[in-house]
């Protein structure tokens, strides 16, 4: 689709594992005056692995509503003072990222993870694509309560709060806060800020915890 406005929202369903050769299909659902909806599906040898709906929306210049109420955590460690995580700790994609602990160490276990992160080699990536790639890079927010355990993302919603994300040297602050966990089903709120403390994305995710 030519002439798309900026990406402003995405809803993603992680249906099943993908391996081997995959096929990606996309279709235009609707193209309105201000917004365009595009549906995508990824299938593999075992069937559908992922479905997604993307919403692209242009500015409504006539709107006079202004609300920016996504506050960065008060005790965030400045980027320059944050301690790096081990390069290969975590999932298989971890070596592609630089990560730093963004909250002071505490003996109290709370369902929250907050890290500074950036992609090691983002050359040639559209800034919005780079941000969406980072946005789901944290472990589940409830992990500090359980320790390492097998997980499976089920659904993920992300709303982009800027038409073009900007930050210093590719770094963003990512936060995941668990708000519910029962019999393996967990829910969390997510937020992302740039190095100036401006919120650039918020989200919500449902994750299965097998432990």
Question: How many beta carbons lie within 10 A of that of residue 41, not counting itself?
Answer: 16
Q: For residue 172, what is the domain's CATH number? A: 2.40.160.210
Q: In what order do the strands lie in the sheet with 172-182?
A: 23-31, 35-44, 47-57, 7-14, 151-160, 199-209, 185-193, 172-182, 112-119, 97-101
Pair 46, 74 in one domain: no
Confidence of residue 19 (pLDDT cuts 50, 70, 90): confident
Domain span at residue 125?
68-211
Question: How many beta carbons lie within 10 A of that of residue 144, not counting itself?
Answer: 16
User: Whose CA is closest to 15, among 39, 47, 45, 38?
Assistant: 47
Across the range 112-119, mean pLDDT stands at 98
Contact 157, 203 (CB under 8 A): yes
pLDDT of residue 147: 82
Pair 93, 194 in one domain: yes
Alpha helix (H) residue ranges in the chain: 127-135, 143-146
Decide if pLDDT at 88 tops 80: no
| Sign for the pseudo-dihedral over CA of 200, 202, 205, 211 | positive
Question: For the chain, what percent of residues have pLDDT higher than 90?
Answer: 87
Pair 76, 11 in one domain: no
| Sign for the pseudo-dihedral over CA of 67, 112, 163, 58 | negative
Residue 173 lies in a domain: yes
Across the range 190-198, mean pLDDT stands at 98
pLDDT of residue 92: 84
Question: How many beta carbons lie within 10 A of that of residue 14, not counting itself?
Answer: 20
Task: State which of 36, 58, 80 marks the end of a domain.
Answer: 58
Across the range 181-199, mean pLDDT stands at 97
Between vectors from CA 88 to CA 83 and to CA 91, what angle results, nearest 5°?
110
Confidence of residue 43 (pLDDT cuts 50, 70, 90): very high
Question: What does the radius of gyration of the chain's CA atoms come to, in whole angstroms?
Answer: 18
Read off φ and ψ for residue 171, nearest 5 degrees: -85, 140
CA 98 to chain centre: 15
Q: Which two tokens stand for residue 62?
A: 């006539």
pLDDT of residue 91: 83
pLDDT of residue 193: 99
> What are the pLDDT digits (tens) for 125-181?
999 999 999 999 999 999 999 888 899 999 999 999 999 999 999 999 999 999 999
Task: State which of 25, 58, 91 marks the end of a domain.
Answer: 58
Pair 54, 72 in one domain: no
Across the range 98-123, mean pLDDT stands at 94
pLDDT of residue 1: 75
Q: How many structural domains is the chain composed of?
A: 2
Tell which phi-psi region holds residue 90, choosing left (phi > 0), alpha (psi between -120 and 50) or beta. left
User: Whose CA is closest to 10, among 26, 23, 21, 33?
Assistant: 26
């Amino acid at each position: 689709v030519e002439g798309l406005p900026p990406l402003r929202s995405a809803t993603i369903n992680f249906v099943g594992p993908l391996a081997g050769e995959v096929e990606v299909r996309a279709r235009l659902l609707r193209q309105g005056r201000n917004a365009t909806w595009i549906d995508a599906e990824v299938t593999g040898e075992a069937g559908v692995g992922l479905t997604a709906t993307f919403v692209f929306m242009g500015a409504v210049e006539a709107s006079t509503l202004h609300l920016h109420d996504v506050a960065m955590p008060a005790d965030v460690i400045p980027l320059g003072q944050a301690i790096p995580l081990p390069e290969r700790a975590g999932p298989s994609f971890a070596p592609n990222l630089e990560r730093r602990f963004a909250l002071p160490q505490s003996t109290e276990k709370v369902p929250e993870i907050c890290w500074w992160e950036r992609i090691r080699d983002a050359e040639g990536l559209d800034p919005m694509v780079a941000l969406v790639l980072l946005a789901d890079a944290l472990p589940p927010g409830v992990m500090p309560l359980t320790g390492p355990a097998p997980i499976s993302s089920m659904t993920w919603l992300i709303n982009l709060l800027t038409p073009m994300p900007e930050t210093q040297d590719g770094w963003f602050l990512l936060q995941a806060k668990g708000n519910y966990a029962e019999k393996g089903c967990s829910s969390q709120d997510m937020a992302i800020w740039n190095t100036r403390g401006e919120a650039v994305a918020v989200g919500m995710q449902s994750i299965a915890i097998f432990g």
